[in-house]
């Protein structure tokens, strides 16, 4: 290749539209996306994002081919989006292709379909399981049950199911009588998602207390799963139902002057990027435009940076991992920067690799090894970091961090709560 | 409220250099970049000046001082170019070579030409054309970008002072469409003893060669270890032939630069573009960063624009003309777009020099030659007046102007 070819110049770029075709057409095959893909780095069977996105799209337009099954190996980490210099909507293409593959190619009678459907609808299971948390924890923690899950469902026996809290976040919130702050002009609606509600209510409580500390009225409306695990499994009908419910609920609140905050970076990603890419319900755009990650919101509207300087939370040194979905929202440096001037502890970034679990991906028996291979780099860096407690915004990254290191994993909001709220 | 002393827009070599230089002056610095760094696409070679008026330069500094008015090197002066390189040498450390001389090195490229460059990855060093050891180039069937026999023929015909042969081998274990990051990963971890498998595949072709060149996939995290293991087993020096994009040497450079930036306390945010700004009294007050849908203000005392040129979209063209999209800065260009191009494909196209014009303090100038904003400077590919590709000056300009812009911003 000559050097002039190294400098591809699009002198008259086409105007951009919200249709995938110009997106596919603007791919100039630089392969930057391929080099950012954590799955392609460890699995050479996986043809990579450039194929999954623009190439497959072009192929399908020319001839009537079906979606290649390799799309199911994509973990939906969305790293390729952040790498493409040309704005090709890669993850949107993957989500669309995956949905088509599942509805056209995958048998609804297959174990794989039902396993994926079960994993994708974790929230429904959790709702039932959390009614009898101790029993569920006991059953799911039973190694025989885990073997059965692996054999009949293809859910890896290597991982421990997350424990259910004995009191859900919503139960706690209702019991305390809702928000302790009333305000006309400072109000946020909390999208907690399923995990913070059923499994880590301490994170959700931290969010409420931190926002109340800053004088916000916090609303906690009835809500469904954000849809993240459904997109990743191509369960688009399930995702649409959940998204429709969420958009209607939160749109009403936005109209009443609420902004939406999330504690999970995949949930904020879903509401602000995936919903408008995939759905057109009334209010989708408004919901997207008013959604923030919780700490991001406080950085913009409050002086949380100044308040944390010199504050002394009751926490040991921490090893922080930035979830891929946080990276995509430009939030990867946030926690470490915000916490850099805390008193009495050090927060270390464990590097820019993917944790490897990507939601339900690493739960599948066939992906377990790949998932651990991707995670290796993070585990090594955790080992090298001075902290022996992990820190991350994403519940499934937290599972992977805990699984690979044995560390306890906390959420940045818990650190802020400890630093600012007494 | 998000604020810092200095805000750098753009995360390529120029933006990174500016941010580091400002941080070293004691400023609180934030770097905002839309996409992952463009360094990962670049070849990893650090060109300062390879050609002047079409002639290959043995010593870039013989001509750096002779650039026409308005060229970025003329704006900052040749001492600034040297200082930029010194900064680079310190950041790149063992990863790079070439700092022992002011002369250009001649690096064989994957097309079989030799390219003049000032600094090159250590992994490339044993392949320099100035050495006279017999050379074997190894390509892989699965990495079609590098045709080793063809590149060897080209090199031989170009009159290099050594024997060079090329072979195409099969890379053990990996499937046809494995990505370059996959090659690097298996070599880094020596998965399934891949290094010895590779050596076995190459040994029969070795002959009297004292150095063996591979496509640039020899490891991502541990390139020195990979090369050393292969060299020991082959009994010959091992080097990489730069190629891409995308490029592992570029990714390795990105890794060290960003690690140094973090160590220096620079706050780095990638993923969101800067889309607008507010100014009053001839100063930028804040820029607007687009975070999916919201436009969030980022305040700072001083701003550095390092968004790259036509390739990085730091300069955009349309039928209406040429513009700088973030601050809507003036970009000098002929009215008639038929005057942007020469007739010959490889002619001296004016569009290659499009970019913002600046004063000697690197502050962008408007159409009348007046400073646009007192607290805005520009660096790197976004600057006009240089034809990076033809001069082979891309990285040198980014280092020299990035350093000056960063320091002046911090000192203001
Ligand atoms: C394929 C390729 C090969 C190259 N090969 C060589 C070589 O062999 N030798 C050599 O010396 N140089 C080479 N270069 C050039 C060199 O690497 C740099 O590109 C050059 O020095 C310009 O650097 P820069 O930092 O000014 O711009 P860029 O590297 O283009 O970086 C611009 C940055 O700004 C960001 N950005 C753009 N718009 C916005 C916005 N609105 N908001 C926020 N961020 C924004 C981009 O995401 C990007 O990170 C090559 C470049 C490329 C692309
Ligand atoms: S979403 Fe992640 S796993 Fe899927 S193709 Fe993109 S980078 Fe690879
Ligand atoms: S990064 Fe974007 S332009 Fe490059 S190959 Fe991938 S999709 Fe195409």
Q: What is the pLDDT of residues B260-301, one digit of tens each?
A: 999 999 999 888 899 999 999 999 999 999 987 789 999 999
Q: Report pLDDT for A133.
A: 67
Residues with a CB atom less than 6 Å from ligand 3: A 27-33, 50, 53-54, 83-84, 86, 88, 90
Contact B209, B134 (CB under 8 A): yes
Q: Report pLDDT for A9.
A: 35
Radius of gyration (Cα) for chain A, nearest Å? 21
Q: What ipTM was reported for this prediction?
A: 0.84
Ligand 2 in contact with A78 (CB < 6 A)? yes
Gap from B130 CA to chain A (nearest CA, Å):
21
Instruction: Using CB atoms within 10 Å of the CB of residue A222, give its burial: 0 to 12 exposed, 13 to 18 middle, 19+ buried.
Output: exposed
Nearest to B40 among A11, A32, A337 (CB): A32
Computed over every residue of chain B, the mean pLDDT equals 93
Contact B12, B398 (CB under 8 A): yes
Contact B302, B375 (CB under 8 A): yes
- Indicate yes or no: CB of A41 within 8 angstroms of CB of B291: no
Ligand 3 centre to CA of A54 (Å) is 8
Ligand 2 in contact with A187 (CB < 6 A)? no
Instruction: Using CB atoms within 10 Å of the CB of residue B190, give its burial: 0 to 12 exposed, 13 to 18 middle, 19+ buried.
Output: middle
Q: Report pLDDT for B340.
A: 67
Q: For residue range A7-47, what is the model confidence (pLDDT) as tens digits?
A: 333 333 333 333 566 677 889 888 889 999 999 998 888 99
B290 vs A149: which has the higher pLDDT:
B290
What is the C-alpha separation between A204 and A169, in angstroms, rounded? 7
Q: Which atom of ligand 2 is nearest to the CA of A90?
A: 6
Radius of gyration (Cα) for chain B, nearest Å? 22
Ligand in nearest proximity to the CA of A371: 2
| Burial annotation A184-199 (CB, 10 A radius, 16+ → b, else e) | eebbbbbbbbbbbbbb
User: For residue B2, which residues of chain A lie inside 8 Å, CB to CB?
Assistant: 299-300
- Indicate yes or no: CB of A37 within 8 angstroms of CB of B179: yes
Q: Probe ligand 1: pick from A3, A7, A8, A10, max atoms within 8 Å of CB?
A: A7
What is the C-alpha separation between A404 and A385, in angstroms, rounded? 14
Closest CA to B324 of B385, B270, B275, B386: B275
Largest CA distance in chain B: 72
B15-39 average pLDDT score: 93
Q: Report pLDDT for A61.
A: 75
Ligand 2 in contact with A327 (CB < 6 A)? no
Q: Hey, whose CA ends up nearest to atom 8 of ligand 3?
A: A27
Ligand 1 centre to CA of B307 (Å) is 7
Model pTM above 0.80:
yes
Placement of tokens 């603007």 in the chain: A26
Closest CA to A293 of B296, B263, B220, B230: B296
Q: Report pLDDT for A4.
A: 35
DSSP string, A219-250: E-------SHHHHHTT-HHHHHHHHHHHHHHH
User: For residue A327, which residues of chain B lie inside 8 Å, CB to CB?
Assistant: 270-271
Nearest to B181 among A41, A331, A333 (CB): A41
Ligand in nearest proximity to the CA of A49: 2
What is the C-alpha separation between B22 and B301, in angstroms, rounded? 12
Q: Which of these ranges, A39-53, A97-111, A181-195, B398-412, has the smallest mean pLDDT?
A: A97-111
Whether residue B118 is predicted with pLDDT greater than 70 in this model: the reply is: yes
A86-94 average pLDDT score: 88
Under the banding of pLDDT at 50, 70 and 90, the label for residue A110 is confident
Q: Report pLDDT for A14.
A: 33
What is the C-alpha separation between A138 and A119, in angstroms, rounded? 19
Placement of tokens 């091992």 in the chain: B238
Ligand in nearest proximity to the CA of B35: 1
Q: Probe ligand 1: pick from B106, B308, B405, max atoms within 8 Å of CB?
A: B308
């Amino acid at each position: 290749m000559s050097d002039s070819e190294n400098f591809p110049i699009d002198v008259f770029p086409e105007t951009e539209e919200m249709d995938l075709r110009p997106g596919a057409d603007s791919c100039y095959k630089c392969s930057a996306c391929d080099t950012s893909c954590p799955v392609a780095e460890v699995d050479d069977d996986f043809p990579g994002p450039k194929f999954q996105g623009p190439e497959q799209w072009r192929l399908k337009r020319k001839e009537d081919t079906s979606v290649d099954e390799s799309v199911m190996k994509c973990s939906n980490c969305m790293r390729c989006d952040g790498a493409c210099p040309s704005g090709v909507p890669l993850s949107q293409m993957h989500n669309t292709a995956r949905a088509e593959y599942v509805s056209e190619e995958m048998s609804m009678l297959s174990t794989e379909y039902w396993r994926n459907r079960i994993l994708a609808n974790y929230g429904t299971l959790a709702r039932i399981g959390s009614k009898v948390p101790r029993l569920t924890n006991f059953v799911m923690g039973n190694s025989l049950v885990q073997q059965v899950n692996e054999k009949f469902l293809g859910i890896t026996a290597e991982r421990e199911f997350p424990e259910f809290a004995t009191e859900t976040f919503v139960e706690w919130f209702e019991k305390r009588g809702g928000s302790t702050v009333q305000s006309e002009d400072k109000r946020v609606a909390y999208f907690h998602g399923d995990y913070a509600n059923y499994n880590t209510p301490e994170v959700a409580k931290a969010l409420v207390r931190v926002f109340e500390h800053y004088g916000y009225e916090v609303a906690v409306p009835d809500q469904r799963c954000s849809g993240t695990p459904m997109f990743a499994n191509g369960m688009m009908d399930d995702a649409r139902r959940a998204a429709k419910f969420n958009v209607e609920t939160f749109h009403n609140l936005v109209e009443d002057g609420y902004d939406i905050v999330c504690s999970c970076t995949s949930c904020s990603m879903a509401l602000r990027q995936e919903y408008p890419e995939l759905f057109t319900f009334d209010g989708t755009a408004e919901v997207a435009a008013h959604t923030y990650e919780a700490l991001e919101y406080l950085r913009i509207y409050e002086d949380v940076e100044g308040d944390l300087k010199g504050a002394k939370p009751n926490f040991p040194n921490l090893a922080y991992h930035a979830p891929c979905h946080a990276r995509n929202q430009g939030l990867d440096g946030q926690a470490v920067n915000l916490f850099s001037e805390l008193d009495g502890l050090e927060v270390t970034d464990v590097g820019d690799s993917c944790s490897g679990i990507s939601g339900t991906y690493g739960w599948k028996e066939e992906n377990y090894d790949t998932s651990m291979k991707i995670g290796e780099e993070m585990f090594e860096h955790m080992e090298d970091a001075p902290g022996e407690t992990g820190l991350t915004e994403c519940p499934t990254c937290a599972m992977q961090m805990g699984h690979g290191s044995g560390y306890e994993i906390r959420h940045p909001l818990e650190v802020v709560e400890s630093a600012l709220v007494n | 409220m998000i604020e810092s002393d200095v805000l750098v827009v753009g995360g390529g070599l120029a933006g990174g250099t500016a941010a580091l230089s400002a941080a070293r002056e004691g400023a609180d610095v934030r770097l905002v970049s839309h996409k992952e760094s463009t360094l990962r696409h670049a070849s990893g070679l650090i060109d300062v000046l390879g050609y002047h008026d079409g002639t290959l330069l043995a010593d870039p500094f013989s001509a750096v001082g002779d650039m026409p008015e308005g060229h970025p090197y003329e704006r900052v002066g040749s001492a600034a170019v040297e200082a930029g390189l010194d900064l680079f040498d310190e950041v790149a450390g063992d990863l790079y070579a070439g700092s022992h001389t002011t002369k250009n090195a001649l690096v064989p490229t994957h097309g079989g030409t030799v390219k003049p460059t000032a600094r090159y990855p250590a992994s490339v060093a044993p392949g320099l054309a100035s050495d006279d050891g017999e050379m074997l180039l190894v390509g892989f069937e699965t990495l079609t970008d590098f045709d080793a026999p063809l590149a060897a023929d080209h090199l031989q015909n170009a009159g290099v002072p050594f024997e060079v042969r090329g072979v195409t081998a099969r890379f053990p274990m990996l499937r046809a469409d494995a990505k370059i990051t996959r090659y690097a990963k298996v070599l880094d971890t020596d998965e399934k003893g891949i290094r010895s498998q590779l050596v076995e595949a190459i040994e029969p072709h070795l002959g009297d060669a004292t150095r063996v060149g591979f496509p640039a996939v020899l490891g991502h995290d541990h390139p020195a270890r990979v090369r050393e293991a292969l060299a020991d087993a082959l009994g010959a020096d091992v080097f990489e032939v730069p190629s891409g994009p995308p490029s592992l040497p570029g990714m390795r450079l990105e890794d060290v630069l960003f690690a140094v930036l973090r160590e220096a306390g620079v706050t780095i945010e990638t993923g969101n573009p800067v889309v607008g700004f507010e100014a009053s009294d001839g100063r930028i007050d804040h820029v607007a960063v687009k975070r999916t849908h919201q436009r969030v203000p980022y305040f700072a005392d001083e701003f550095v624009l390092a968004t790259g040129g036509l390739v990085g979209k730091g300069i955009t063209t349309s039928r209406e003309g040429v513009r700088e999209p973030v601050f809507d800065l003036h970009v000098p260009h002929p009215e008639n777009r038929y005057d942007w191009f020469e007739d010959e494909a490889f002619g001296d196209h004016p569009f290659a020099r499009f970019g913002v014009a600046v004063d000697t303090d690197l502050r962008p100038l408007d159409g009348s030659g007046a400073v646009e904003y007192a607290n805005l400077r520009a660096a790197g590919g976004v600057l006009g007046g240089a034809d990076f590709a033809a001069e082979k000056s891309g990285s040198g300009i980014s280092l020299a102007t990035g350093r000056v812009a960063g320091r002046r911003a911090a000192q203001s």
